[in-house]
Amino acid sequence: MKILTFGDAMINGHQFTEAARMLGSHEIVTTDWESDWGKLQSRRLVIEQQGPAVEEVPPMFKENKDADMVLGLFGPFSAEGMDTFDDLKLIGVARAGTENVDVKAATERGIIVVHVMGRNAQAVSDFSIGLMLSESRNIARAHLSIKNGEWRKVFSNSGYIPELKGKTIGIVGFGYIGRLVAKKLSGFDVKINVYDPFVKPESIDMPNVQLVDKATLFAEADFISLHARLTEDNHHFISHAELAQMKPTAYLINCARSGLVDTDALVEALSEKKIAGAGLDVFDIEPIPQDHPLLELDNVTLTTHIAGTTTDALTQSPYLLAEEVKKILDGGKANWVKNPDVFEHSKVKQWLRNAVGSN
């Protein structure tokens, strides 16, 4: 079996190669798609917004057309890219989102798509709570004032700077990250309202956490933290109407996807002090343009899409991916296959019979 590792500036090909050795003695070819950090950030955002077909087929696909599987992170896996290979059987991406993979095309071609859930869940949940504190307690603004030779004590929210104790936190999306946020916030003695149409009340097993409807969450929350995946159905999940329902002392935190929030509506709400502030790690265009109206506001904390980027999260990801692939090759059931229906494909059945028999 031939394995192509397909790294980038965030996780390079050599890291994937080391993890791929867990799969046995196979031929492994190490490559990198985009090794420039700045270019990677812009290219990955375009792919997430427009799909993998927006990119040309990577030359390393054509140079390794006999590969049986490709393991990577952000690189594009379009239908055209898949057709470059003679008989590709598995695509593995060391991330939860699969926006860079045409999953439908993979399924049609009998290609298994494996991803990694929760690889940066600890990192993102930590960061989300950090943004709550930074924005509401003016941590970044106070730091900037000192750096600028000032000693600032008065801020946009000086009349109602909050403590977390006793506040209501609204969490949108109660998957692994949302649950971690709730768990970590429990020590602050807060009430937590959750909105997630895919979660049933009986699955909520945490004290001080309750499932509510969307209107209740927006009306009652002192902080709203977003942890939902972006879909066609929830694009601009938060716009003028939702922001109008929030308390004027409430804060919005987004470490998920920028498309969940109508940025124009948020800028208006912040400018007119309809809400107290926002903490944002994701943007419609990255890097954020220098003339963007968010940069003129004094009640928003902005970070450079780094919520999920920790050394622990990055170094563990290729190994988590390899562990999932190994389960499949050993005849077991992987937890994180994006297209489980593909196991009914005749090509997949034949490959797995041969793969399991050889291990």
Residues labelled as active-site residues: 257, 286, 305
Concatenate the DSSP letters of all residues of 282-340 into one string.
Answer: --SSSSPPTT-GGGG-SSEEE--S-TT--HHHHHHHHHHHHHHHHHHHTT---S-BS-G
Residue 150 neighbours by CB distance under 10 Å: 10
The rounded distance, in Å, linking the Cα atoms of 219 and 336 is 36
Closest by CA to 22, choosing from 258, 227, 318, is 318
Q: What angle do CA 312, 315, 320 make, to 5 degrees?
A: 100
- State both tokens at 76: 């594009």
Backbone conformation region of residue 81, classed left if phi is above 0, alpha if psi is from -120 to 50, else beta: alpha
The rounded distance, in Å, linking the Cα atoms of 229 and 238 is 13
Closest by CA to 99, choosing from 230, 271, 291, 221, is 230
Closest by CA to 106, choosing from 337, 353, 351, 355, is 337
The rounded distance, in Å, linking the Cα atoms of 230 and 296 is 27
The rounded distance, in Å, linking the Cα atoms of 200 and 266 is 30
